[in-house]
Amino acid sequence: MSGQSVDNQYFDKLYEGNDDPWAMRHRWYERRKRALLLACLPQERYGAIFEPGCANGETSLALATRCDALLSCDMNTRAVGLTQARLSDIAHAQARQAALPADWPGERFDLIVLNELGYYLSRADLSQVIEKARACLNPGGQVVACHWLASIEGAPQTATQVHEQLHAELGMHRLVEHREGDFLLELWSCESTTVAQHEGLR
């Protein structure tokens, strides 16, 4: 593993002749994982969601059903085009090209989704992403992260390293911690209120 964030050429190769390089649309593993990510979100609906590293827009399409405004981004031109096509009929959702952490958007958000993104970033770049995420969250805002546990060739970090860094540097309440043999899924919130507490059940 190198100490540098993965560059765009890495993703250009993945998208050569393939609009679904991770089989997000067809593989049961991906569809199930996406359903678990959506199910772990404590709020039924969010005001604004930010999804960096949107890939081909499969998760974007699902997130759009849970919010009033969705911003998805990716540094890869092909990925952005595919996501724009997936979101074309959804007025409150948009996709734009942006490389993180340099091109972090100026909007504020209620939920930030770091889905299979963190291990492509160096520790220093991930620290900047975490800092920017905290700064743009609305009161009560949340961060959810999901990462493949197997090693990824060329990636500077592992999923475990990414989630340990997120937990240490976010300084937020961890409301969800789900670990399987294949992936790690966690959610942090500015508030410690659980879903049951929010609905007055405890």
Position 54, amino acid: C
Q: Residue 41: how many CB atoms within 10 A of its CB?
A: 21
Per-residue tokens: 131: 């800092």
- Residue 1, in any domain of the structure: no
pTM over 0.75: yes
d(CA 23, CA 2) in angstroms, rounded, equals 26
**pLDDT, position 154:** 86
Q: Please report which confidence band the pLDDT of residue 10 belongs to, taking 50, 70 and 90 as the band edges.
A: confident
Closest CA to 144 of 194, 178, 186, 101: 186
Give CA separation, 160 vs 59, 165, 187, 190, in Å. Answer: 22, 9, 14, 22
Q: Please report which confidence band the pLDDT of residue 18 belongs to, taking 50, 70 and 90 as the band edges.
A: confident
Contact 123, 165 (CB under 8 A): yes
**Mean pLDDT, the chain, integer:** 92
> Is a pLDDT exceeding 60 seen at residue 174?
yes
- Residue 103, in any domain of the structure: yes
Q: What would the pLDDT profile of 48-91 be if each residue is shown by its tens digit? A: 999 999 999 999 999 999 999 999 999 899 899 999 999 999 99
- Residue 159, in any domain of the structure: yes
Q: What would the pLDDT profile of 102-151 be if each residue is shown by its tens digit? A: 999 999 999 999 999 999 899 999 999 999 999 999 999 999 999 999 98
- Residue 2, in any domain of the structure: no
Give CA separation, 13 vs 17, 82, 155, in Å. Answer: 9, 16, 15
Q: Please report which confidence band the pLDDT of residue 7 belongs to, taking 50, 70 and 90 as the band edges.
A: confident
**pLDDT, position 23:** 72
- Residue 146, in any domain of the structure: yes
**pLDDT, position 200:** 85
Q: How many residues make up the chain in this entry?
A: 202
> Is a pLDDT exceeding 60 seen at residue 2?
no
Q: How many domains does the chain have?
A: 1
CATH of the domain at 121: 3.40.50.150
**pLDDT, position 159:** 96
Q: What would the pLDDT profile of 80-93 be if each residue is shown by its tens digit? A: 999 999 999 999 99
Lowest pLDDT segment from 89-93, 96-100, 172-176: 96-100
- Residue 174, in any domain of the structure: yes
Range of the domain at 52: 8-198
